[in-house]
Amino acid sequence: MPSNRRFAFFCVVQLSICAPIFAAEPVGASSKLAPDTVVAQQGTATVTLADVDAFAQKIEDKQRAGFFNSPKRLESMISNLLLQRQLAAEAVKAGLDKDPSVQGQIRLADEDVLAKARMQRVRADIKLPDFNQLAREEYVGHKEKYVRQGSLDVKHILISTEKHSDAEAKALADQVRAEAAAHPDQFDALVEKYSEDPSKDQNHGLMRDARSKQYVPTFSQAAQSLKVPGEISQPVHTKYGYHVLKLVTRTSDTPLKFDEVKDTLVEQLRTEYINKSVKTHADELRNLPMNANADVVASLRDRYGTVLTPEEIEAAAATQGEAPQH
C-alpha cells in the first residue's frame, strides 16, 4: 500500500478506535449495522461487515479482541480480503472456476468450513453436568494432588566428567564429600574451591526449587532424599558429573482448600468433558464401515509419488532378483 494511502488508512483506523471515547454511541455500536455495510472498497472489490465477521470466526475467541484492537492487523486483514476478492474475480472472468481441479478445491474448502461449523454446533449442544459437584468429588477423592509444594533448596559442588575421567571425578567427589561432612559450615568455601559448575559465579552453588523438572531426575531425587537442613549427600552421578549436595531449606507441602482449587478444577473438568464428547462424535463417524477401492488407493502412490528414473527402476529390480521390463 503506498505510503500516503497507508497514512490515510491508519488515520481512519485510529479514529475508529478512539471515536467511542468521545461519541455518544457505545463501543459495540457496530453490532447494530447491517451485515452488508461496506467496510472498504478497492477497484471492483468490496469488503462488508459480513466478510469481516466470517474472517473473525477463524480467530480464537480469546485472541479476537486483541487482533481487532491493532491498526496494523486491521490494515493487513482488509487489504488481504480486498486483494483476495479481486484475484477471485479475475479467476472467474478467466473461467478458472470451471476448471475441475479448481472446483474440487472449492468443494473441499466449503466442506472444511461446514465441518468446522458442525463441530462448533456439536460442542455448543453438549448437555453439561454440574461441574461444581464433580469438582468437589475429585478434590475429596484425591486431596493428595492438591497441595502447595514447600520449598526445597540445596547447594551443590559439581566435579565435571568433562574435565576429569569418570574414576578421577568420582574419587575427587568422595574427597569433597568427606571434607563437607567433616566441616559442613565450610560448604560455601568448598563450592568456591572445588565446584566446576559454569553457573557457580552467579549462584554460588545454590539450586532453588530442586524438585523442579528443570533438573535431571537423579539430581532432583537426591535433593529430595535430604531431610534436615545442613545434611550432606553422597556423591550423585548425573550426565554432568558428580554432585555433592547440602540441604539449605526444606518446608512441608501445604494442603490447598477446595475454594482455592475449585475454579481451576471446574474449568479442567469442563474442558475434558467437552473435548471427550466432541471426540466421541467424531469417532462415531470415523468408525463407520468404510469401503475403499484397494486398487485405486494403491495407484495414488504412482499418481502423486516421485517418478523413478530408469536407473532407479533397474536397481530396485536387481534387489528383488528380477529383470527390468523394457
DSSP labels for 188-255? HHHHHHH---TTHHHHTTEESSTTSTTS-HHHHHHHHH--STT-BPPPEEETTEEEEEEEEEE---EE
Report whether pLDDT(174) > 90. Answer: yes
The pLDDT assigned to 17 comes to 40
User: Which residue type occupies 242?
Assistant: Y
Report whether pLDDT(305) > 80. Answer: no
User: Which residue type occupies 168?
Assistant: E
Q: What is the mean pLDDT of the chain?
A: 88
Q: Which residues contact 270 (CB under 8 A, 6 or more apart)?
A: 128, 131
The residue with greater pLDDT, 11 or 281, is: 281
Q: Which residues contact 249 (CB under 8 A, 6 or more apart)?
A: 151, 152, 153, 229
Q: What is the mean pLDDT of residues 74-80?
A: 95
Q: What is the mean pLDDT of residues 9-20?
A: 44
Q: What is the mean pLDDT of residues 235-253?
A: 95
Domain boundaries of the chain, sorted by first residue: 3-98, 150-252
Report whether pLDDT(19) > 50. Answer: no
| Residue 314 banded pLDDT, cuts 50, 70, 90 | confident
User: Which residue type occupies 76?
Assistant: S
Q: What is the mean pLDDT of residues 143-164?
A: 93
| Residue 321 banded pLDDT, cuts 50, 70, 90 | low
Report whether pLDDT(73) > 90. Answer: yes
Report whether pLDDT(57) > 50. Answer: yes
CA 281, CA 160: separation in Å to the nearest integer? Answer: 55
| Residue 318 banded pLDDT, cuts 50, 70, 90 | confident
Q: What is the mean pLDDT of residues 288-300?
A: 91
Q: What is the mean pLDDT of residues 320-325?
A: 50
Q: What is the mean pLDDT of residues 253-281?
A: 96
Report whether pLDDT(21) > 70. Answer: no
The pLDDT assigned to 29 comes to 54
Report whether pLDDT(325) > 60. Answer: no
Q: CATH second-level architecture of 150-252? A: Roll (3.10)
Q: pTM surpassing 0.75?
A: no
The pLDDT assigned to 310 comes to 75
Q: What is the mean pLDDT of residues 208-218?
A: 92
